[in-house]
Amino acid sequence: MRFQTLYEGRHFLVPSFLATVFFGWLATDWCGWLWIALPAALVFVFCANFFRDPDRPIPPGDEIVVAAADGVVDAIEIVEEKEVLHRECRRVSIFLNVFDVHVNRAPIAGRITFQQHHPGTYLDARDPYCHQKNEALTWAFTGSRGTLVVRQITGAIARRIVPWSRTGEAVEKGHRFGMIRFGSRTDIFLPLDAEVLVKIGDKVEGGSTVFARLAADAGYILTPSQVLL
């Protein structure tokens, strides 16, 4: 557990813990209170599990891209990335259910060169159009082999994206740059010449699953003049 991650869950963890203790104490005198203490305890356990944030080994190598989130790969397609790179990329999408770790991690080492919030709707994260319509936060990470775009997307339950990093910050691969509260989606936009090492249906872990391998020649690199300040 990390304090930063647990702090994001304070509005859920503290009330459910206090309710568990209080009604559990009352239940020692009258069993009827147990039916309130038990649901409170279940909520506390669920939240403690949701806001977990395990340390993980980070695969080395500038060419190695790691997963930016925990979850299941459910879409791989070629699209035009119109916000940052303005070119065709391969979008690999990860669906996060409420039992996954929801901390997002940098897919490569480098510098954060773009960050932009987008208001939107709150369609179910399993909806095929949620990545186009839902509230989202777009990031760009520029390393020695190019720039990768990551987009955090809300869902029907996950309605808050929490950024922990900022534009211009240098980060290591696997750096925790933010989280999405409850079920959601994370998209990673890879250059077309990158070798994708996951397939639809694969379960991945943020920061540790080898997601893709970048080509030897540097791809598109976001220049300082293109950084959103």
Which residues carry out catalysis?
A: 184
| Nearest one of 203, 199, 188 to 85, comparing CA atoms | 188
CA separation for the pair 91, 5 (Å, rounded): 27
Q: Report the greatest alpha carbon distance in the chain.
A: 71
- Give the phi and the psi of residue 140 in degrees, each rounded to 5: -125, 135
Cβ contact 125:72 at 8 Å: no
CA geometry: angle at 195 spanning 71 and 192, to 5°? 100
Complete edge-to-edge strand list for the sheet that includes strand 71-81: 170-171, 110-118, 136-143, 146-153, 184-190, 87-96, 71-81, 203-204
